[in-house]
Amino acid sequence: MSTPVIVRDADTAAIATWIEGRLGTALLKSPEGIAITVPGGSTPFPILEKLADAPLDWPKIAVWPGDDRLVPEDHDASNVGRIRQVLSPAGARIVSLEHVVRVPHFALAWLGMGGDGHIASLFPNTDPRADDPERIRRITPDPLPPEAPFDRVTMTIPALLASDELLFVIRGEDKRALFEQAAAGGNDLPVARLLAAARQPVTCFA
């Protein structure tokens, strides 16, 4: 298990600059191209908008959503649609999870975390496992979140762990306390299962 580095009170610009540095370094190591995964929800998009202006070699970066709602891409609830709107103009290649055959190794796996400890669409009721033989699963959250009552497609814990580095960006004291509890092994929520199996560096902006 890696001990997460928790960075408090970083603003959107600082987080975008941190990610830019990580991606720039990864591209130097793998000039043929890299893959990253990013979360949906409201928190990442202001950061992604800042990041889109960064002078990165975007055509060599494939961007995957960590999960998505099973809705048309032009639907407001589509993660891949929103990611495409922000990063396609910069030249990034955006990948939809719906028809994936093989999940790559990620230079960076960026995750959010819900107030119930879920990551991607791995909710507590789905019993996500670090030894899941699948890399992508279709699931139905129970209960369905009222703000997004849709079936989901999600990366599993092994898919997210196939990465050089893990990044979390979470907001609010309650979530920060839950994350710290999970990192200390104080619960068995999905985020705790991921962290318990992580061997790569973990950074959490909280």
Tell me the per-residue pLDDT of 172-190, one tens digit each, with 9 for 90 and over.
999 999 999 999 999 999 9
pTM: 0.95
Instruction: Say what the pLDDT of residue 79 is.
Output: 95
Q: What CATH code is assigned to 5-205?
A: 3.40.50.1360
Q: Is the pLDDT of residue 1 over 80?
A: no
The residue that leads in pLDDT, 142 or 39, is: 39
200 Cα distance to chain centroid:
15
Tell me the per-residue pLDDT of 34-48, one tens digit each, with 9 for 90 and over.
999 999 988 999 999
The residue that leads in pLDDT, 49 or 144, is: 49
Instruction: Say what the pLDDT of residue 142 is.
Output: 80
Tell me the per-residue pLDDT of 53-110, one tens digit each, with 9 for 90 and over.
999 999 999 999 999 999 999 999 999 999 999 999 999 999 999 888 899 999 999 9
